[in-house]
Amino acid sequence: MRRKDREMSKEFGIEVIDKSSYGILSINDENNEPYGIPLSIVRDGNNLYFHSALNGKKVTAFEKNSVVSIAFVGQVKVPENFTPEELAEIAKDKYSTGTLISKVFTTEYESAVAKGKIKLVEDEEERVKALKLVCEKYTPTKMDFFNLAIESGLKLVNIYKIEIDEITAKRKKYDIHGEEMKWGRME
């Protein structure tokens, strides 16, 4: 990671993964070309799960290469570090362009990247468990109908598990005084 001052802990990365709406899975496809796809992913311990169609480009890619990377993005926002009056004062000084670049024209963000090996889940109990976790995350108010859906739907999908080998996390965030919180500083 180039910006070590923005590196966060593995635990922070897990929090980002758990609250992210989706992850972008990247892999080399069957022609060794880069291929990325957004997926609804859920974490259970050191494993990530998602479902897929029974065939298609990603299924073929997984058969050729089991090493994947998944990027997750948490909260993103443009910080408001200055009042309009303070910005007007900053603009009067031609030497304050560094402040404009680093504290005005910037974005706060949090992200995590997980790397690991992907496996097709074949055990029926684990397949049902993984789908239930996915559904609890994305359709929690519909769980009364899960068992009915699983009876007919389980045979129509592949379930994949990514065993996490590594998680890296990064964040850019400002405190209430407009100073960037570096080196894992939380407050």
Q: What count of Cα atoms within 13 Å lies in the side-chain half-sphere of residue 78? A: 6
Q: How many residues does the chain have?
A: 187
Provide the pLDDT for residue 105: 83
pLDDT, tens only, 55-105? 988 898 998 889 999 999 998 888 888 888 988 888 888 787 777 878 888
Q: Which residues of the chain register pLDDT less than 70?
A: 1-2, 4-5, 184-185, 187
Residue 88 lies in a domain: no
Residue 37 lies in a domain: yes
Report how far apart, in Å, the C-alpha atoms of 58 and of each of 33, 109, 155, 163 are. 12, 29, 18, 17
Rounded-to-integer distance, Cα 72 and Cα 139, Å: 20
Residue 177 lies in a domain: no
Number of domains in the chain: 1
Report how far apart, in Å, the C-alpha atoms of 155 and of each of 40, 51, 122, 159 are. 19, 11, 11, 10
Provide the pLDDT for residue 98: 79
- 143 token code pair: 């769980």
Residue 187 lies in a domain: no
Provide the pLDDT for residue 41: 97
What 3-state class would DSSP assign to 61? helix
Residue 144: give its domain's CATH number.
2.30.110.10
Residue 179 lies in a domain: no
Provide the pLDDT for residue 73: 94
Residue 59 lies in a domain: yes
Residue 168 lies in a domain: yes
Provide the pLDDT for residue 2: 67
Residue 115 lies in a domain: yes
Give the range of the structural domain holding residue 159, as residue numbers without chain letter.
4-78+107-172
Provide the pLDDT for residue 184: 65
